[in-house]
Amino acid sequence: MKVRKKSYIRIIVIVCLFTIWISWDLTQAGKNLLSLYRSYRMEEEFDSVTEATAKVGIARSDDVKLAHPTAIDNTSITYQTIEEMVRQAIKYAGGIDWIVQSGNMVLLKPNIVDPEPPGTGEVTDVRVIKALIKIIDEIDPGKIEIVVGEGSPRPMDYEMEYQSTFGTPQWTKLWDKSGYQDLLTDPYLEGINFRLSNLNGSPPEDPWQDLVLVDVPGGGEAQPQGGQYYIHKDVLNADVFITVPVMKIHRPGITVALKNQIGIAPSTMYGFSKTEGVPQKNYKVKLVHQSLAPMYWTDKEIVDLCNLAQIKYAVVDAIACLEQKKAAIRKGDQITNLVRMNMIVAGPDPVAVDHVCTRLMGMNPDDIEHITLAEKVGLGTNNPDNITIIGADLETTKKRFIKFPDAEGDFGQGNRTWLLNGPYSIDSISEPINNEFIPDEANLTPTANKDNWSEAVFFNDDRINLRDYYNLSSGDDVVSYAFCYFTAPKDQQAELWIGSDEALKIYINGNEVYSYSGTRSFKDNQFVSAKVMADIKAGENSLLVKTLQKYGGYDFCINICEPESNPNYDGNRIWGLKFHTASNVSGIKQPAGKTNVNFEVFNAYPNPFNGSVSLSYRIFKPGKMTVRVFNIYGQKIRTLLNERVQTTGNHVISWDGKDSNGNFVSTGTYFVRFQKDLNQVDSKKILFLK
């Protein structure tokens, strides 16, 4: 009996070890899917970051300027008050009549998901849309075509053949349960030229005839989509696209002005839900989202679709909002995740609007990838110094929303731009993580492109995928270094959120703050392997991460967060903390990642513009400067400066919106291209509104 018992124990141990090995192997196999797509790019490839200023208006229901104010906790807020809030928020943000003109087609894009009534926080309150229809028509009554368009992820009857998830239609008529059909017979809107548009494709007999395959300018950010998306012709034909979301928490952190554009990807092409595809296309055309673990594509798709929409204005329904998730959680007759805010947020810059909404929900905009990425590709500003908030005071108005309860919603966003050094072979070294491959490693303060350090490298995901960057195989046993600076607003203790599957060591300001020498799981749904406290100082700090590859996927992540004991709210990066790869301590520095470039373009104001736009730039070394304007097709519109010798220092150049023949160009996106000497190039994207 004892012999048999030992055999059973031996078998159990073998099975357990085999299970652990299979689990580890599957984790690494998932990471190897990334070999299909590039996980990094050079930071200098981003040349569209705008320093333009933006106004964001916040009108609360108790605003003294309203004719019919009411308490911000009033659950029975009237249409009259809502319309006044919409008008006041738009007025605070500088108006809308300079964007919408007579003869325009204006598309209002609400957020309509489930068949929920107004006021539940899950769908854009139809009363906000009603107010906007009225306000826009008043600019030139009857002369503006207004379209209310959405591609709901829930099917209508004729869309059932394109779905696999839902057993029954969700809408009898288009968005009827959310009150949108009532707009068509509302006497208050009588005589106004407006209609509803199903962005999934309208004709029941052939919804695909409304859909057009279009290219994302610059190739796009979501690599699995190949730089192309199907879009409804109403989106493409709109002169003015206004995003009108409801303010909610969702898996990408938040779903507000930018995230709302997932709804312009038609479900008759991408599926119900939009990550499944449709049988007519063999389920191959779909939004990938996070399915290629461990890289998350959702935020990149959001930015791509915003780039296609060319958003001119954002009006946010922040009346009844949702925390924890985008759908209402019910207990009896109560929605337990509803947060009443009773306010409207508005502005012409959707990135700035999302920045403000994120702060209103008690989070850091730098933790929301689609906000920071949208800024990088030139869709707006995320810089609080460039955002003027008018109306309600943000600090006394904001509330703490419970985050989405998984790694993507909780982790925030780690630093993604690093200087890299290595890899170094660890053959015959017994404790490689404790071996100094670079002398005095703790006190390194490297410069890009010097002493074997790389230029600034931007990674597309929170996981810094060193295996991809160095093109390593699983049998390559190496150590490498990643370095950056960060600027902090004050002396304080920070909580480091760290992830890795193998050994790493972390130094801050020359002090070792964390060391790990074993192996562990680092799955796509579990970013955090450890949380440790560390002291940081006001001003500039140095951060060095030393990593080892032997068995794992050779990736790591790190964020520097506010200490927080409540797991509902933790994971926020320290407010005001900024990562960078070039020291700001002394002198005029060349921009991070651009050490081979001897000038920098850093301002466009105003942007968008309809009179004249000015662009500022700084020259570090005298030379010949050429400045030209191009349209989105790469055609030269005008030469503003032609090989003019310019001196070191700051310069400003303006463009009045006219081509080389003296005629005003049409409304749209243009690129101002700066070229110094023969091969130094930078450009900025600007929007001209005629």
Q: How confident is the model at residue 18 (pLDDT cuts 50, 70, 90)?
A: very low
Read off the pTM.
Answer: 0.81
Identify the DSSP state of 587: S
Q: What is the pLDDT of residues 424-481, one digit of tens each?
A: 999 989 899 999 999 999 999 999 999 999 999 999 989 999 999 999 987 899 999 9
pLDDT at 510: 95
Nearest residue to 310 (alpha-carbon basis) of 239, 219, 230, 223: 239
pLDDT at 243: 98
338 and 254 belong to one structural domain:
yes
Q: What is the pLDDT of residues 140-192, one digit of tens each?
A: 999 999 999 999 999 999 999 998 877 888 999 999 999 999 999 999 999 99
Average pLDDT over residues 28-34: 45
Q: Is residue 592 predicted with pLDDT exceeding 70?
A: no
**Other CB atoms within 10 A of residue 29 CB:** 10
pLDDT of residue 669: 82
pLDDT tens-place string over residues 197-209: 999 998 889 999 9
What string of H, E and C letters represents the secondary structure of 293-337? CCCCCHHHHHHHHHHHHCEEEEEEEEEEEECCCCCCCEECCEECC
pLDDT at 19 over 50: no
User: For residue 38, which phi and psi values (nearest 5 degrees)?
Assistant: -75, 130
Whole-number pLDDT of residue 215? 95
What is the overall mean pLDDT for the chain? Answer: 88
Cα–Cα distance, 437 to 418 (Å, whole number): 18
Residues 204 and 273 grouped into a single domain: yes
Segment 568-583 mean pLDDT: 92
**pLDDT for 594 beyond 80:** no
| Residue after which a domain boundary falls, among 383, 410, 437 | 410
Tokens representing 74 are 């009033």
589 occurs within a structural domain: no
Which pLDDT band, with edges at 50, 70 and 90, does 517 fall under?
Answer: very high
Q: Which two tokens stand for residue 559?
A: 């964020």
Tokens at 607, concatenated: 């942007």
For residue range 599-637, what is the model confidence (pLDDT) as tens digits? 777 667 777 887 788 887 878 778 888 898 988 767 788
Residue count of the chain: 690
pLDDT (0 to 100) of residue 300? 96
Report pLDDT digits (tens) over 50-65: 667 899 999 999 999 9
Please indicate, yes or no, whether residues 661 and 551 belong to a single structural domain of this protein.
Answer: no
Exposure on the CB side of residue 640, measured as CA atoms within 13 A: 21
pLDDT tier at 585, thresholds 50, 70, 90: low
* H/E stretch holding 682: strand 680-688
Give the pLDDT score at 488. Answer: 93
Is 611 part of any domain? yes
Show which of 410, 433, 448 is a domain's final residue.
Answer: 410
Task: Quickly state the pLDDT bin for 395 (edges 50, 70, 90).
Answer: very high
pLDDT band, very low/low/confident/very high, at 1 (cuts 50, 70, 90): very low
Task: Check whether residue 71 and residue 153 sit in a common domain.
Answer: yes
Residue ranges making up the domain that contains 168: 55-410
Per the omega criterion (within 30 degrees of 0), is the bond before 61 cis?
Answer: no
Tell me what pLDDT residue 34 has: 47
Position 686 scores a pLDDT of 86
- Rounded to the nearest 10 degrees, how much is the dihedral formed by the CA atoms of 599, 600, 603, 609? 70
Assess whether 65 and 209 both reside in one domain: yes
Which band of pLDDT confidence, cut at 50, 70 and 90, is reported for residue 597?
A: low
Does one domain contain both 207 and 299? yes
Q: What gap in Å lies between CA 44 and CA 42, rounded to an integer?
A: 5
Residues 566 and 640 in one domain: no
- Does 594 reside within a domain? no
Within a domain: 590: no
**Pick from 347, 377, 350, 378: which is nearest to 365 by CA?**
350
Q: Which CA distances in Å does 650 have to 50, 596, 599, 686?
A: 17, 19, 10, 20
Q: What are phi and psi of 225, to 5 degrees?
A: -85, -10
Q: Which is nearest to 501 in space by CA: 535, 469, 467?
A: 467
Mean pLDDT to the nearest integer, 224-237? 96
Residue 408 — pLDDT band, cuts 50, 70, 90?
low
Q: Which of 370, 387, 410 corresponds to the end of one domain?
A: 410
pLDDT value of residue 31: 46
Number of domains making up the chain: 4
Residue 43, domain member (yes or no): no
| 609 and 537 together in one domain | no
Looking at residue 49, its pLDDT comes to 63
Segment 510-527 shows an average pLDDT of 86
Strand pairing category for 105-110 and 680-688: unpaired
- Residues 487, 362 within the same domain: no
Report yes or no on 41 lying in a domain. no
**Cα torsion angle, 130, 131, 135, 138, sign:** positive
Q: Inform me whether the pLDDT recorded for 358 exceeds 90.
A: yes
Confidence (pLDDT) at 611: 78
Give the pLDDT score at 537: 93
Distance CA 572, CA 575 (A): 8
Is residue 527 pLDDT above 90, yes or no?
A: no
- 580-589, 624-633, 649-658: the lowest-pLDDT one: 580-589
Please tell me the predicted confidence (pLDDT) of residue 389: 96
User: Does residue 399 sit in the same domain as residue 445?
Assistant: no
Sequential DSSP letters for 350-413: HHHHHHHHHHHTT--GGG-HHHHHHHHTTS----GGGEEEEES-HHHH---PPPPSSHHHHS--
In a domain, 288, yes or no: yes
Residues 28 and 11 in one domain: yes
Tell me the per-residue pLDDT of 103-145, one tens digit each, with 9 for 90 and over: 999 999 999 999 999 999 999 999 999 999 999 999 999 999 9
Residue 252, helix vs strand vs coil: coil
For residue 335, pLDDT beyond 80: yes
Residue 172 sits in a domain whose CATH number is 3.40.50.11440
Residue 524 resides in a domain: yes
* 2 pLDDT above the threshold of 80: no
Asked whether the predicted pLDDT for residue 83 surpasses 70, the reply is: yes
Query: 204 burial class (0-12, 13-18, 19+ CB within 10 angstroms)?
Result: exposed
d(CA 686, CA 604): 8
**Beta-sheet pairing, 387-391 with 54-60:** parallel
Residues pairing with 681 in the sheet = 675
Q: Give the model's pLDDT for residue 524.
A: 66
Residues 221 and 112 both lie in one domain: yes
Q: What is the CATH number of the domain that holds 548?
A: 2.60.120
DSSP characters over 217-240: GGG-S-GGGTTEEEEEHHHHH-SE
Q: Cβ of 510: how many Cβ atoms within 10 Å?
A: 13
For residue range 258-299, list pLDDT tens digits in order.
Answer: 999 999 999 999 999 899 999 999 999 999 987 776 678 999
Q: What is the CATH number of the domain that holds 616?
A: 2.60.40.4070
